[in-house]
Amino acid sequence: MRTLGLLALCLVAINSEAARLQIKGSVTDFESREPMANALIRVYKNGVKQHVFHTGANGRYDVVLDNGADYVIRFSSPGRVTKCFGIDTHGPSWENDNAVTVVEVEMTLFEQVEGMDLSFFDMPMGLARYTPMTGFLSWNKPYEERIQPEAARLCEEVRQRRDQAMAKQP
């Protein structure tokens, strides 16, 4: 019985040599899906800003996350609506597991619309859970199902307002 308790304690320990999560992807324009150069990426670990960097000309970003933390990754660009997603990396891991799980996430940003409240997008557009021991990342589907209708409605309203503004131009 004592051996089992010691084994469980060893498995719960988070080692810097344990499997880690690498998030990479691109930041693109909502309408054209073209890469957005120089988009600002801010990575918060347990509520504290850890990394700040910009995408290159190809709109790409890449960050490796430590285990045992809650992350929020925020994407912004001047004149665009800021968006983010969250990842929980808590959980047991195998000692000396140097594996890296790579996940690709595209974030689309659209222009702010004067007079339109888009503060809804301050909330994470997705929440994920990474399990270091298995290397699996799962997205919180119930959360996505709750926020998706409002996100879709707002995106459609942004499109309509943009189309109306373009139609008024000579």
How high does pLDDT run on average in the chain? Answer: 88
Work out the pLDDT band at 69, boundaries 50, 70, 90: very high
pLDDT for the residue numbered 151: 95
Mean pLDDT along residues 117-144: 95
pLDDT for the residue numbered 17: 56
Mean pLDDT along residues 18-40: 93
Q: Lowest-pLDDT range, 21-30, 143-152, 161-170?
A: 161-170
Work out the pLDDT band at 136, boundaries 50, 70, 90: very high
Give the C-alpha distances (Å, rounded to integers) separating 74 from 1, 38, 99, 146.
46, 14, 25, 20
Domain 2-168: give its CATH architecture.
Answer: Sandwich (2.60)
Statement: residue 14 has pLDDT above 50: no
Beta strands per DSSP E along 118-161: 124-131, 136-139
pLDDT for the residue numbered 95: 81
